[in-house]
Amino acid sequence: MDIEKFKNSSTGRLIKTARNYWAFIPNPLPPAGLDKFSAEFVRILSEADRGIGVLKSLSNLIPNPNLLVAPYVRKEAVQSSRIEGTQASLSDIFYYEASKEKPKHADVLEVLNYVKAMNYGISRLKGLPLSLRLVKELHLKLMEGARGEKMKSGEYRTTQNWIGPPGCSLTDATYVPPPVPEMNEALGQWEKFLHNDNSIAPLIKCALMHYQFEAIHPFLDGNGRVGRLLISFYLYGKDYLKYPILYLSDFFEKHRNEYYDLLLGVSQNGNWDGWLKYFIRGVAEQSKFAEETGHKILDLQKKYRQQLQKESVSMPVFQLLDMLFLNPFVSLPGISDYLKITWPTAKASVERLVKLGILKEVSGRKRSRIYCAEKLLNILSEG
């Protein structure tokens, strides 16, 4: 680690360990000077707050919030995992969930684990606040059966880790997080910051929380994905969002280099201003994008329902249509199980939607066929 880039930092301190390497210890949150924001920052923050307000209004219009939650969760899973180098697509995830086939590629399994961790956390927050305990539970779900499973899933590290180019050592790493004793102390301080009642705006506090978690880097693997999960959980758990339908990994993926550079810049130069502007700008942009996508989904659903009403189709066909908006891929066994209808009824419902151009067979198989609502998938895959 190039200590010259860290030695004058106002956000932490360097220590030299008994093993003769340098590590960075972030200061407890919050940092000083949070009441001194530029006019530009206040403008961006106001824009982000308006975007959150629009999302709340949008969620109030939807009888079934899962209409947005389910697809948004999966898109977040794909984009957050892609930041770490996976190549799975959104259609891959939907396809394997519909087919219930075992994923052939480790990338797909990692993204599916992210979906499981996200859904687990959403459910868990109903009875447990965001905490170190929940963070460990999320990590266990995230790493289960995946490539990093041997990296002590669900447990904080007991050895030193570091960040840098492939093959680098502790001495030439880009960043070395706190050694284990200091890591444990920093985690305790991080949790206290989460639970402290203070006047810090929720979006700012969320941005501070995310940086600090990444600076502590408490796991041997999966720190980035867990840290990004925590963003949504923090905002949702604090009732800043009525439903978890705002995800920032899409923004982080589009501006990946800036994301890493600004996180590192806080540690090296105390550049809180740059990181906070970036984070809040991401909230503003993703709120707008989530709102636009939500309206497109609702408009398409309305269009299809009107089409079915004109055709005077049976109730199972309407139910199947609603099912598609949770996952645009479906199979006959999945339809039969989910809607609690017979196989012949499921088959007849699928054939009706195929005839109307809403569904299309995409597996090319004679048995165990998979069907897709391609217009809906295209909307979900935008961006």
**359: domain CATH number?**
1.10.10.10
pLDDT in tens, the chain (383 residues): 899 999 999 999 999 988 889 999 999 999 988 877 888 888 999 999 999 999 888 888 777 878 888 888 999 999 999 998 888 999 999 999 999 888 878 889 999 999 999 999 999 999 999 999 999 999 999 998 766 556 688 999 999 999 999 889 898 899 999 999 999 999 999 999 999 977 899 999 999 999 999 999 999 999 999 999 999 999 998 888 888 888 999 999 999 999 999 999 999 999 999 999 999 999 999 999 999 999 999 999 999 999 999 999 999 999 999 999 999 999 999 999 999 999 999 999 999 999 999 999 999 888 889 999 999 999 999 86
Strand-strand pairing, 12-16 and 370-372: unpaired
Same domain, 157 and 288: yes
Are both 46 and 170 inside the same structural domain? Answer: yes
C-alpha torsion angle, residues 266, 272, 275, 279 (rounded to 10): 140
Q: Which amino acid is at 15?
A: I
Domain that holds residue 318: 313-380
Residues 102 and 184 placed together within one structural domain of the fold: yes
Burial class, 97, CB count within 10 angstroms (exposed 0-12 / middle 13-18 / buried 19+): middle
Do 134 and 257 sit in the same domain of this protein?
yes
**Rounded to whole angstroms, how far apart are CA atoms 374 and 237?**
34
Domain contains 301: no
Question: The CATH number of the domain where 215 resides is what?
Answer: 1.10.3290.10
Is residue 11 in a domain? yes
Q: Are residues 72 and 111 in the same domain?
A: yes
User: Do 178 and 161 form a contact (C-beta atoms < 8 A)?
Assistant: no
Look at residue 305 and tell me if it is in a domain: no
Cα–Cα dist 35/55, whole Å: 27
CA angle 174, 176, 182 (to 5 degrees): 160
Question: pTM, whole model, 2 decimals?
Answer: 0.92
Residue 329 falls inside a structural domain: yes
Choose the final residue of a domain: 233, 260, 292: 292
Q: What is the DSSP letter of 219?
A: S
Domain contains 297? no
Same domain, 52 and 195: yes
Residues 274 and 166 grouped into a single domain: yes
Q: Count how many domains the chain has.
A: 2
The answer as to whether 334 is a domain residue is yes
